[in-house]
Structure formats: C-alpha cells, structure tokens
A and B are shown apart, each in its own frame.
Chain A
Amino acid sequence: MRLDRLQAAGLTVVAGTLMALTMTGCFKDEPLNAECDIERVAITVDNPEKFFFQITDTARNINYADSIITIDVRGAADISAVALRFVTTAGASVSPASGTVQDFTGGPVTYTVTSQDGNWRRRYYISLRNVWVTVQDTIKYDFEHYELNAAGQYYVWHNELADGTLGNDWASGNGGYNMAKGKDAPENYPSVPDPNGYDGACVKLTTRDTGPLGMTMPIAAGNLFIGEFDVSVALKKTLQATLFGKPFTGRPVKYTGYYKYKAGPKFTVKPKKVVDRVDIGDIYSVLYLNHDPEGNPFVLHGDDVLSSPQIVAIARVKDLHETSEWTYFEVEYEYSKEIDEALLAERGYNLTVVFSSSRDGASFEGAVGSELMVDKVRVITAHEE
C-alpha cells in the first residue's frame, strides 16, 4: 500500500521534472552581439573652437540607417591628421581603430565595424568637410538629383552645394513606408521624382495607404524636407522620426516655387474613419536656433516644427489650393525674433524646407491619393535682395 503510493508519487515527480526541464531548463550562454553600428563619433582636437563652428559639434550621434557621414568643420581647420573616436555596439571592433589619426584631405575614410561575434560587418564612409561661411545667396532646389537608395527600394534626393557637389540634406518618410510595404515598387512610395516638372524633373508627393502593417499609422503623407529621417523611432515615436533642418548661414527673406495639387477622394482620420473634410497639402519653411538656451544642440521634430519657441522665422503658403496647372507661390518669412548676425555666421541657425501632400499627415489625417507636385523652389536671402 505504502509502496504503491510512493511509486505513484515518484512517477508524478519524474513527469513533472521532465516538463520543467523541457520548458525552462537549459538556457544557453548569452550569444555574443551580432550588431556592428557606430552609434556616436567624437573628435578631440586641441582648439575645438577653431576647428568646429559649434563646440557641440565635437561629438554627434549617428543615425542607424546612415553609413555615409559628413562632418562639417571650419574652412581653416586642418583635417590632415584627425583622430575619430567611436562608440559602437557593445563588443564591436573598428578598423582603423577608434582614436587612430587619419588624413581626411583626400576624401572619405572607410571604417569597417565588425560585430562582437565576428559574423557581421558594416562599412562607414566618413568625411570631414571644410566649410567656408559665405553670405548665402539664393538657394535653389530643383529636384534634379535623385537615385534609388542602396537597397534599390525607394528614391532619395540630393541637394546641390555651392561648389557644385551633391549633399544629403533632403529626407523623406520613404524609409518608414518601406517598413510597412517592403514589397512596393519605388514608384508606389509616397515620395517619388516625376520627369514632368515645371522645369526638368520635380518631386511628386502622394498620400498612401500603409496597408495591414501600417497598424496605427494607416496613411503616409508624401513628404520631402531638409533634415533627417530616423526610421528607428518611426513606429514607436512617429513624430520624433522627422528631424527638420540643417545649418543655414543666410537671412532668408522670401520663399518661392511652383506647385500642383489634387486632393484625394476620401478624407480619413485614425483609424481610417471617413469624415467630411477636403485634404490640403502644405508648403513651408522654418528658420530656428539650433541650440537651446542651455547650449544643448536642438532640432525641430514633427510635433514642434511650427510651434517651438526656438523658431525665428516661418514662411508658409497660406492659399494653397487644388490646381492642375503649375502655380507660382511666393511668401515672405515672418520673423518673431531678431537675427544675431554673429551667430548666423557660426552656423547657429538651422533652416528647413518642407512639402507634404496632407497638411495633417503627421497625425495620420488626410486622403489617400492626395498629390502635391513641387518644383523650382527658391529661398531668397537678404544678401540677394
């Protein structure tokens, strides 16, 4: 009798132990890190104020999507022997090693980052660029320089720099759309080039349906702006993904260009509820202080691009309307703060130029199919006037 009970109990224990072992047991040692990102770059030089425009330029975070990095330094800065220091994914190694002196006069230096587990590599092309601040003339944006991104999935644009070379100041939300609709052809993305511009190619921005994976972001307005798009936070903190503006050394006065606009048939609000509203696009430009009163670097995001106290001037097209003809716009920058000329010369201001096919696209309100075409945009400075 007693034995029976013991036997049964014993079996139950054996079965239970087997279960426990299978379910929770045998966690292996943590695998080594597989990532190989440069997360931050720092440059230590003897006289940083003579090397950089802003002292905060000595270190900067690197967008995970970027592998071509350009660091602007003063025109007179000696870039023939500079050591870059990196913060990488834990355990990753960089070659040439962090802190090694390199000559940047011959163009970008290639850094290869190898993951801790040795299985993954990323290459970074880092340039130091001597920038001579001149009183900036009219800036021309003609949208003639575009190409597919490295993976061939969507279009990216380049701006033309004063010396005729191409810059990477344009950004769009295409990278975010790629997360939801990775199989779409480049032409079906929200932001695409169109050969039928006012003059040569133009940019065509279309509000798109993000499909089943869009989840809480049911639509994506087509947008193009001067700044950066950080796709890593696009899902979690959408409005933080758009970083508006790049340093600007002129005093903008007028904002001009040509557009066409067509509103999509059904205006929807989250979560894809049709409401009786007509969509409208948005064209604006903002000049702002790129450091806060405490001296920390500052950048405008989707939630404060038109409302931040850092803003100095705004030019926004107010009478934007549906039109199938190329329509000229011309708006003046309205200043809410005085410009500090010395700070302007030290690249203390950022300028952004923004186009969107749905004005309230940032809060996912708009009509799928709304289309904004923009071409021959100009930012006219006081110097030009």
Chain B
Amino acid sequence: MFNFLRQIFRPTTKHPSFRRGWGRLLLLLPFTAAAGGGFFSGFTTEGHIGYNIGGSAPLGMPATIRSLDRFSLTPNINFGASATKRFSERWGVKVGVRFENKGMDIDAGVKNYHMEITKGGESLAGVFTGNVVSRADLWMFTIPVQATFDVSKKVRLRGGLFGSYLTGRKFTGWAYDGYLRKDDPTGVKVELGSGPDERGDYDFSPNLRRWQWGAVIGADWYFHRRLGVYAELDWGFSGIFESGFHTVEQTLRPIYGSIGLTYRLH
C-alpha cells in the first residue's frame, strides 16, 4: 500500500511545490488507466458525476442561531475521475481529482447574532436580531486519497482525506426584517426592512480561504458491471474563512454529502 503511494508521489519529491505535485498526479491518471499488467494488475479507473448537498456551518450550533427558515438547492455539481489499486482480496487505495461546487443558499433566524455590514471599506458592526440570508459559491478542485475495502464484488467502502483548492470564491448575503444594535446590545438601534433598499448587505468573498482539507467517507454500489452509485460525506476540518477573519464569530466548516454515479472505465 505504502509502496504504491511512493510510486504515485515519486515525481512530487523532485518538486518542492505541493501544488505542482498535484498537477503531476493529474497527468498520471490517463496513463495509469491505459496501462495493464504488473504493478497495474488490480488497477481500475472510474469517472464520477454527482451532486453535493450540505453547507458551511458551525460545529455545534450557537444559541444565537435560532432557526433555519429556508434551505435552497444550489448548482453543487461535482465531476471527476479516480484510480483505484487493489492490494489484496479486499483492500486498496483510491486517488482522484474532481471539480465541484460547495455552494449554499440559506435563510436563518438569529438573535443577538454578531455581524458586520460591509461595503467598499465602510462597515457597520453590531448584534443583529432578525433574519440573515447567506449565499455561498465555492468552486474548487478536490483531490481525495482514500483506503478502500470491498465488502463484496458490488459494494466498496472507502475513507480518507481530501484537499481542495478554490478557483471561485463567493460569500454574500444580507440581514433583513430585524434590527441591529450598533457595537453591542446597548448601542444605537437600527431597524432593517426586507426590500433591497431597507436591508443590510454584506460580502465576505475576499475573506474566503484558498485551501480546504478534511476527511471523506463513502460507499460505492455497482449495480451493473461498469455502472454504480455512490454516497459520500466530506467533512471539512478547515473553516471556509481565513483564520484572521472574525466578523463571523463561529468557524464555518464545509460539510457536504454527495450522491452520484460512478462509471468504471477500466
């Protein structure tokens, strides 16, 4: 197993940049798919397409978030390819790459929720009671590295780690139908309405991280020789915002489930 990893990552050692190493890995995939015999026995490649459902949320909901009033589906497609190498009857390693969106569109009811309305360098911070809409669009390349365990010929369980590099980052929204107390609960009270003229907009896009990582667990079920379905859970360990960003008090971790189709290429 470790020998296999060393094979895969060998080109990386010559390049100090982790990112370029990943690039090498991507190049490797089509070749490995075409090869056969020797090291490549027990080697398969797969294509995936699926849909992510979830959100970036605090672990352990703070008491200041009172309700989730709306959860709308966003275009959270994911597609990619992977290669799996089996080392024994049941165990193997799976490495892949996919392009995906971990977006969300929610409307939450809050009470005394710390927030900041920002626009063009000006800001208005305080505690808000009312509703907050949050819209995220996080497009990224993700590389999962997982151990696989074949329960049967048709069912495979897997688990491991993933790293993501974000190519598109957007996190915007607005506070509405409520009131802000400037700075703290004793501060000046400002009522916000619901129309675009009366609400408080925010845009935290520039404060989103480029890199994310986390754990992944999943299962594949092949109902056909080549075609299968999968279910997966991606649990982000890193918050979506930069560590120095405290306007959103809680660390929001991207936690997404994914379901989709797998097609065995080789």
A293 close to B (CB within 8 Å): no
* Interface contact A235-B217, CB-CB below 8 Å: no
* Interface contact B54-A23, CB-CB below 8 Å: yes
B62 close to A (CB within 8 Å): yes
A168 close to B (CB within 8 Å): no
* Interface contact B152-A4, CB-CB below 8 Å: yes
What mask results when residues 195 to 235 of chain B are scored 1 for a CB within 8 Å of chain A, else 0? 01110110000000000000001111100000001011100
B170 close to A (CB within 8 Å): no
From the candidates B68, B121, B124, name the one contacting A23 in the complex (CB within 8 A). B68
A185 close to B (CB within 8 Å): no
A100 close to B (CB within 8 Å): no
* Interface contact A236-B198, CB-CB below 8 Å: yes
Query: Which residues of A have CB within 8 Å of B198?
Result: 216, 235-236
* Interface contact B191-A236, CB-CB below 8 Å: yes
Rounded to whole Å, the gap between the CB of A26 and the closest CB of chain B is 5
Known: A26-B61, A28-B62. A235 touches B151 (CB 8 A): no
A222 close to B (CB within 8 Å): no
B259 close to A (CB within 8 Å): yes
- Size of chain B's interface in residues, with CB distance under 8 A? 60
* Interface contact A215-B65, CB-CB below 8 Å: no
Which of the candidate stretches B19-27, B90-98, B112-120, B132-140 sits at the interface with the other chain? B112-120
A224 close to B (CB within 8 Å): no
Query: Which residues of B have CB within 8 Å of A385?
Result: none
Rounded to whole Å, the gap between the CB of B224 and the closest CB of chain A is 13
Which of the candidate stretches B8-16, B40-48, B79-87, B181-189 sits at the interface with the other chain? B181-189
B171 close to A (CB within 8 Å): no
Q: A56 CA to B157 CA in the complex, in Å?
A: 75
B29 close to A (CB within 8 Å): no
What mask results when residues 1 to 28 of chain A are scored 1 for a CB within 8 Å of chain B, else 0? 1011101100110011011001111111
From the candidates B67, B188, B220, B233, name the one contacting A15 in the complex (CB within 8 A). B233
* Interface contact B112-A34, CB-CB below 8 Å: yes
Known: A15-B232, A236-B198. A120 touches B68 (CB 8 A): no
B163 close to A (CB within 8 Å): no
What mask results when residues 51 to 71 of chain B are scored 1 for a CB within 8 Å of chain A, else 0? 001110101111111111001
Which of the candidate stretches A175-183, A252-260, A274-282, A328-336 sits at the interface with the other chain? A175-183
* Interface contact B197-A215, CB-CB below 8 Å: yes
B190 close to A (CB within 8 Å): yes
Known: A12-B231, A36-B185, A213-B124. A4 touches B155 (CB 8 A): yes
A232 close to B (CB within 8 Å): yes
Known: A12-B231, A31-B112, A122-B186. A181 touches B221 (CB 8 A): no
* Interface contact B192-A34, CB-CB below 8 Å: no
B193 close to A (CB within 8 Å): yes
For B217, the closest partner residue in chain A by CB is: A15
Query: Which residues of B have CB within 8 Å of A64?
Result: 188-189
Which A residues between 196 and 226 are near B, CB-CB below 8 angstroms? 211-213, 215-216
From the candidates B55, B112, B117, B179, name the one contacting A232 in the complex (CB within 8 A). B179
Q: A120 CA to B196 CA in the complex, in Å?
A: 32
* Interface contact B231-A15, CB-CB below 8 Å: yes
Known: A4-B155, A8-B219. A22 touches B255 (CB 8 A): yes
Query: Which residues of B have CB within 8 Å of A115?
Result: 185
* Interface contact B122-A11, CB-CB below 8 Å: no
Rounded to whole Å, the gap between the CB of A19 and the closest CB of chain B is 4
Q: A231 CA to B192 CA in the complex, in Å?
A: 12
Query: Which residues of A have CB within 8 Å of B155?
Result: 4, 7-8
B123 close to A (CB within 8 Å): yes
Rounded to whole Å, the gap between the CB of B154 and the closest CB of chain A is 5
B240 close to A (CB within 8 Å): no
Q: A274 CA to B111 CA in the complex, in Å?
A: 41
Query: Which residues of A have CB within 8 Å of B122?
Result: 180-183, 211-213
Rounded to whole Å, the gap between the CB of A135 and the closest CB of chain B is 39
Which A residues between 92 and 145 are near B, CB-CB below 8 angstroms? 115, 120-122
Known: A31-B112, A179-B190, A232-B179. A4 touches B151 (CB 8 A): yes
* Interface contact B185-A11, CB-CB below 8 Å: no
Query: Which residues of A have CB within 8 Å of B67?
Result: 27
For B152, B218, B219, the residue with the greatest tally of chain A CB atoms inside 10 Å of its CB is B219
Given contacts A7-B151, A18-B257, 14 further A-B contacts (CB under 8 A): A3-B152, A8-B155, A8-B220, A11-B219, A12-B231, A15-B231, A19-B257, A22-B59, A23-B71, A26-B61, A182-B122, A216-B196, A233-B191, A236-B198
Shortest beta-carbon contacts, A-B, top 7: A212-B120, A8-B221, A34-B185, A212-B119, A28-B63, A11-B219, A216-B197
Q: Taking beta carbons and an 8 Å cutoff, which residues of B are in contact with A?
A: 53-55, 57, 59-68, 71, 111-112, 117, 119-124, 127, 151-152, 154-155, 157, 179, 181-182, 184-186, 188-193, 196-198, 200-201, 217-221, 229, 231-233, 255-257, 259
Query: 10 A-B Cβ contacts within 8 A?
Result: A1-B154, A8-B220, A65-B189, A182-B124, A213-B120, A213-B123, A216-B198, A231-B190, A232-B189, A236-B192
